[in-house]
């Protein structure tokens, strides 16, 4: 069996998609989870893109020990230098450089001839190789490039020291049959192709990213680039969970050996969704809420008789557990810890103490605490940031015959502690509460999005609120969870504002 390498670009290509931006702490938490899941390569970012990107690549490179950490670079010396500066303390660093190779890109974007592009690729790979032994080269828009030119450029960069050659379907244009032929052509027509790993990176503009990625695997590609939940620019990237579960479920079709731990898929999906505020559609393959649900009577009868009648993979294989034990306010610490272990969480004593305290508070409000409730509790801790503003209390007066009014009192913790209270009216209770918080913060920004959903079923379910606020060009996502939907909304708004204040302070320091 050939060795398969999973290259995860959630923190680079995925984070570039609208509404999916993450701060440093959030990126680190995702990186740690990707390491737990045992992906082979984490593309941590585009180091030269901004000071924040550089800091996140550097922090991930210094934190992650069990994965290769890569940084993207244009085929320019300043990009490559910046990537190396961020990566140099990594246990296993990789410089990833790229240049466009399609006629349309070379003519209209680069304004370079084929020979100029060829020489730039060669010289920049050679330059990167002097800094880092592991160098990946990507031919941007490869699926719309002339195959003969691709063969030339790949042979050249491998001779210059590239250890990985990446063949991206940058605009999601190709089809599985075409892509299979292209990968096969590279293997057969690049004389030194056996000296480098062949990689693919597919986008989902025509809904075929996963199909194209799997076709490439069958044709001989052994590094597959993808993202959690398929997030990414435009229509997204090939979804990691779909790619790996197809290979796991149909091993005879691919004959590939991989180290990725599929039982961490559900947790990874939940974490990325929670951090970005981008929900997974219920009918999403593998990680959607309905992926293992059966409502049809015929299906239910079949599954009860034999699961394999309608389930081609088990819930346990992606980290979903059967709810065998009811947790409530009378449950003890041992039962709680056992459930955490079943869900794939292994906490320190201090983290367990804090989580158990939160669990007991929630259990007083809910008769039964479900797995999703526990996951939400732990997600709240995962990406904590300093709270400039902390909720003290709020009072809302609303109805269909009166103007909604909200009184909000916050504790400001910025060197000295100060209690501030404001009252505001609005078009509904949430609007009134948000306006009161804006008065206290005294910062101008725009509310881009607000959403509220139930974490579990039932009237006592926790509400999970998300807001996205914009200040200049920066977008900040806030999340709040409570059995009171008004409180969840207030907490989400404050969380976004606290993130904004924290990140602006970091930028000033940089």
> Residue 101 and residue 263: Cα distance in Å, rounded?
38
Tell me the three state secondary structure of residue 393: strand
Nearest to 199 by CA among 232, 246, 167: 167
Question: What mean pLDDT comes out for the span 239-263?
Answer: 97
The percent of residues above 70 in pLDDT, for the chain, comes to: 96
pLDDT of residue 456: 76
pLDDT of residue 295: 56
Nearest to 406 by CA among 490, 326, 324, 338: 490
> Residue 162 and residue 99: Cα distance in Å, rounded?
14
pLDDT of residue 42: 98
CATH of domain 389-509: 3.30.160.270
Is residue 302 scored above 80 in pLDDT?
no
Alpha-helical (H) ranges within 399-484 are: 429-441
pLDDT of residue 323: 47
> Residue 219 and residue 179: Cα distance in Å, rounded?
9
Nearest to 234 by CA among 209, 214, 271: 209
CB 288 within 8 A of CB 281: yes
pLDDT of residue 303: 60
Give me the residues paired with residue 137 across strands. Answer: 97, 165
Tell me the three state secondary structure of residue 464: strand
Question: What mean pLDDT comes out for the span 461-474?
Answer: 89
> Residue 457 and residue 73: Cα distance in Å, rounded?
46
410 versus 292: which is more confidently predicted?
Answer: 410
pLDDT of residue 311: 83
> Residue 303 and residue 309: Cα distance in Å, rounded?
6
For residue 26, the tally of other CB atoms under 10 A from its CB is 23
> Residue 53 and residue 41: Cα distance in Å, rounded?
18
Nearest to 143 by CA among 210, 76, 70, 216: 216
Q: Count H helices, E strands: the chain?
A: 17, 16
Is residue 402 scored above 80 in pLDDT?
yes
**Mean pLDDT over all residues of the chain?**
91
Is residue 123 scored above 80 in pLDDT?
yes
Biggest alpha carbon–alpha carbon distance for the chain? 78
For residue 313, the tally of other CB atoms under 10 A from its CB is 17
pTM metric for this prediction: 0.84
Question: What mean pLDDT comes out for the span 60-76?
Answer: 98
The token pair at 233 is: 């620019």
Of 103-117, 310-324, 476-490, highest mean pLDDT: 103-117
- Residue listed under structure tokens 């959403």: 451
Give me the residues paired with residue 226 across strands. Answer: 8
Give me the residues paired with residue 141 across strands. Answer: none
If you ran DSSP here, which 8-state letter would residue 192 be given?
Answer: T
For residue 497, the tally of other CB atoms under 10 A from its CB is 25
Tell me the three state secondary structure of residue 319: coil
For residue 449, the tally of other CB atoms under 10 A from its CB is 13
> Residue 489 and residue 464: Cα distance in Å, rounded?
8
pLDDT tens digits, one per residue of 165-186: 999 999 999 999 999 999 999 9
- The topology (CATH level 3) of 2-276 is TIM Barrel (3.20.20)
Q: Which helix (DSSP H) or strand (DSSP E) does residue 151 occupy?
A: helix 147-160
Q: 43's torsion region: left (phi>0), alpha (psi -120 to 50) or beta?
A: beta
pLDDT tens digits, one per residue of 425-454: 999 999 999 999 999 999 889 999 999 988
Question: What mean pLDDT comes out for the span 307-315?
Answer: 84
pLDDT tens digits, one per residue of 325-378: 567 777 788 888 887 877 777 788 888 888 888 888 888 877 778 777 887 777
Distances from the Cα of 361 to the Cα of 145, 193, 330, 457, 482, angstroms: 59, 59, 12, 19, 11
Across 407-427, b (16+ Cβ under 10 Å) vs e yields bbbbebeeeeeeeeebebebe
Question: Which pLDDT band holds residue 309 (cuts at 50, 70, 90)?
Answer: confident
Question: What mean pLDDT comes out for the span 404-415?
Answer: 92
pLDDT of residue 324: 43
């Amino acid at each position: 069996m050939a060795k398969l390498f999973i290259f995860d670009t959630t923190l680079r290509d995925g984070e570039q998609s609208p509404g999916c931006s993450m701060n440093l702490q959030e990126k680190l938490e995702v990186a740690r989870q990707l390491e737990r899941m045992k992906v082979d390569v984490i593309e941590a970012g585009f180091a030269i893109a901004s000071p924040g990107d550089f800091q996140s690549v550097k922090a991930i490179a210094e934190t992650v020990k069990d994965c290769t950490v890569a940084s993207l670079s244009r085929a320019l010396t300043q990009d490559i230098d910046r990537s190396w500066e961020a990566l140099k303390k990594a246990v296993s660093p990789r410089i990833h450089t790229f240049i466009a190779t399609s006629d349309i890109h070379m003519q209209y974007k680069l304004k370079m001839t084929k020979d100029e592009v060829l020489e730039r690729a060669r010289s920049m790979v050679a330059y990167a190789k002097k800094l880092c032994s592991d160098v990946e080269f990507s031919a941007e828009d490869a699926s719309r490039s002339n195959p003969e030119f691709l063969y030339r450029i790949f042979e050249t960069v491998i001779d210059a020291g590239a250890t990985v050659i990446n063949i991206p379907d940058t605009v999601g244009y190709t089809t599985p049959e075409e892509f299979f032929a292209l990968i096969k052509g590279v293997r057969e027509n690049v004389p030194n192709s056996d000296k480098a790993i062949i990689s693919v990176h597919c986008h989902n503009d025509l809904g075929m990213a996963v199909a194209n990625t799997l076709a490439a695997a069958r044709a001989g590609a052994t590094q597959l680039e993808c993202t959690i939940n398929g997030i990414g620019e435009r229509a997204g990237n090939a979804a990691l969970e779909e790619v790996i579960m197809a290979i796991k479920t149909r091993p005879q079709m691919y004959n590939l050996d991989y180290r990725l731990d599929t039982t961490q898929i559900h947790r990874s999906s939940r974490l990325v969704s929670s951090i970005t505020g981008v929900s997974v559609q219920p009918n999403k393959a593998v990680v959607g809420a309905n992926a293992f649900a059966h409502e049809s009577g015929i299906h239910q009868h079949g599954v009860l008789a034999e699961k394999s009648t309608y389930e081609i993979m088990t819930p346990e294989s992606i980290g979903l557990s059967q709810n065998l034990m009811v947790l409530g306010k009378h449950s003890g610490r041992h039962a709680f810890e056992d459930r955490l272990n079943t869900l794939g969480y292994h906490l320190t004593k201090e983290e367990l103490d804090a989580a158990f305290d939160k669990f007991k508070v929630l259990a007083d409000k809910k008769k039964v605490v479900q797995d999703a409730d526990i996951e939400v509790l732990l997600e709240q801790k995962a990406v904590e940031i300093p709270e400039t503003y902390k909720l003290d209390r709020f009072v809302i007066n609303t109805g269909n015959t009166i103007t909604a009014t909200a009184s909000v009192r916050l504790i400001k913790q910025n060197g000295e502690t100060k209690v501030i209270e404001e009252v505001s009216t609005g078009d509904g209770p949430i609007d009134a509460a948000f306006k009161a918080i804006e008065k206290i913060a005294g910062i101008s920004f725009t509310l881009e999005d607000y959403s509220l959903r139930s974490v579990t079923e039932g009237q006592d379910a926790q509400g999970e609120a998300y807001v996205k606020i914009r200040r200049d060009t920066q977008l900040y996502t806030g999340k709040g969870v409570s059995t009171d939907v008004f409180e969840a909304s207030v907490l989400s708004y404050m969380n976004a504002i606290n993130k904004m204040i924290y990140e602006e302070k970091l930028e000033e320091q940089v």
